[in-house]
A and B are shown apart, each in its own frame.
Chain A
């Protein structure tokens, strides 16, 4: 086959290129052998990597046992199942000792003993594991335990979480705070929560491990936490209890680092990235941005696609969207996960970290409908060790693909 070129038509440039590359496919035998040999030698080096990983897990187990914590059936599961589900970010943080193993004793109230066994805390998450001993006749597989009337505050009277108006009002009255329940401010944090519990039968009683995951856009750097619990709910039966716990937060928590990364200038017609901060404890990336035009079409298009993937029919999709529009008309801000898609972060070592959707609490978005200023937080499973001087944040917005180069501020 010979090459021919017609200088008038670009099509022939394509043909020229394809033909050239098609005709030069052979690579030197030395390179081929090098590739084969490298692959074959990988098996030996892989074995040593496994040993290191196992050491980390066993090391972690030893810490738990010597602290005297009697925990669930399989200690290894702790790191993956306790806090925030299977969050890799949390798992990495815990692997790097970013956790407080409390050595407090049980406190008794109304024949129920409670203590805090582990805590993990950074700007956006507060995870507390409670160990509860009960005499009740419980089923290991079918028991629901939750702590009602919780208030968490710190040494500066910041209220980090409260789910009961009565306990809230009492606290505000005691400390002369002019706050209204559910009306948040910089010292009264808007904090969500989810929890789950596991039960284990002991000789004379049952031990429940109740894990509470609190999440917010910004917890303060508290050095002490005060936790008041007035009520325990066991299978919908309420027990009046009164526990007040004071716990010292370790320095590694309140001296946590937030790395600032500067986004490289982008000339997109759709969005300006104003700033990016990366929390290197459990790796939440906060993105402050401004949309240059109305986002609603993109938002509802993505929402419709998502609902379609979930199997909703056209009528259901229309109904959901109409309800969403109606609800959003009454609010200043719109919260949505549906604006950005295919979100991942890549470091300079070519490692890709996808959005950690197990840490759903670390993934939020808020846009002011009038100013179009927004804040999004994404959670990824990378640690401070993965955070190179340059990071690349990738997402798709309104059918446009973005690579935002983030340069660490030194």
Chain B
């Protein structure tokens, strides 16, 4: 990644494209938490990419590139969300994420987990995604969200607790049904 960043600073568009593609999954997953349709996600991604390109020369510590890029995206998503949510009709057009599995059990379990995630607040969802999808440390997450590391840890704990409670309730309901 360091070479890609260095080349991008020298206006090597191919390197810059590869650099962005190396984190496109992270960016997309995070945009999905906030924005409800593909057009808005595309807009947010576009603005983010332009912003990254404009400011890439300011990066000194290359290991923070990903956290920096994610932070830009979160801000762009928030801007669009603020505009769109004023209309009160801003609903999700995206039902579920495509996945690599075709086994029905796995699809059921995947949907269960997505329902569990729906119980989380935006911040809790974001932290879960940053931690488990982008595989960032709590310290890196704190830099992205601009909160202290202890705040990150307590939100993460709360999010995991809520997921656990969802499954406990589900298990209880399943038992009732099976009687």
Tell me if chain B binds chain A.
yes
Taking a contact as CB atoms under 8 Å apart, the answer to whether B167 and A23 are in contact is: no
Q: Is the CB of A401 within 8 A of B132?
A: no
Q: 8 Å CB contacts to B: which residues of A9-29?
A: 10, 13-14, 16-18, 20-21, 23-28
In chain B, positions 125-179 with a C-beta closer than 8 Å to chain A are 128-129, 131-133, 139, 142-143, 146-149, 160, 163-164, 167-168, 171
Indicate if B110 sits at the interface (CB-CB under 8 A): yes
* A337: interface (CB < 8 Å): no
Q: On chain B, which size bracket covers the interface?
A: 35 or more
Contact yes or no, B106 A2, CB < 8 A = yes
Q: Given A16-B163, A42-B16, A402-B148: A26 and B99 within 8 A (CB)?
A: yes
Establish whether residues A46 and B72, one from each chain, have CB atoms under 8 Å apart when the complex forms.
Answer: no
The answer on a CB contact under 8 Å between A2 and B21 is no
Q: Are B101 and A39 in contact (CB under 8 A)?
A: no
B105 to chain A, nearest CB (A): 5
Within 8 A of B (CB), among A140-163: none
Assess the A23–B132 pair: CB atoms within 8 A.
Answer: no
Chain A contacts of B164 at CB under 8 A?
7, 10, 13
**B25 lies within 8 A of chain A by Cβ:** yes
Q: Which residues of A contact B (CB under 8 A)?
A: 1-3, 5, 7, 10, 13-14, 16-18, 20-21, 23-28, 30-32, 34-36, 38-40, 42-43, 45-46, 49, 268, 346, 348-354, 392, 394, 400-403, 405
- Residue numbers of B with Cβ under 8 A of A are 11, 13, 16-17, 20-21, 24-25, 28-29, 38, 41-42, 45-46, 49-51, 53-55, 58-60, 68, 71-72, 75, 97-101, 103, 105-106, 109-110, 112-113, 128-129, 131-133, 139, 142-143, 146-149, 160, 163-164, 167-168, 171
A-B contact pairs, 8 of them (CB 8 A): A10-B160, A16-B113, A26-B98, A31-B42, A34-B45, A43-B11, A352-B68, A394-B146
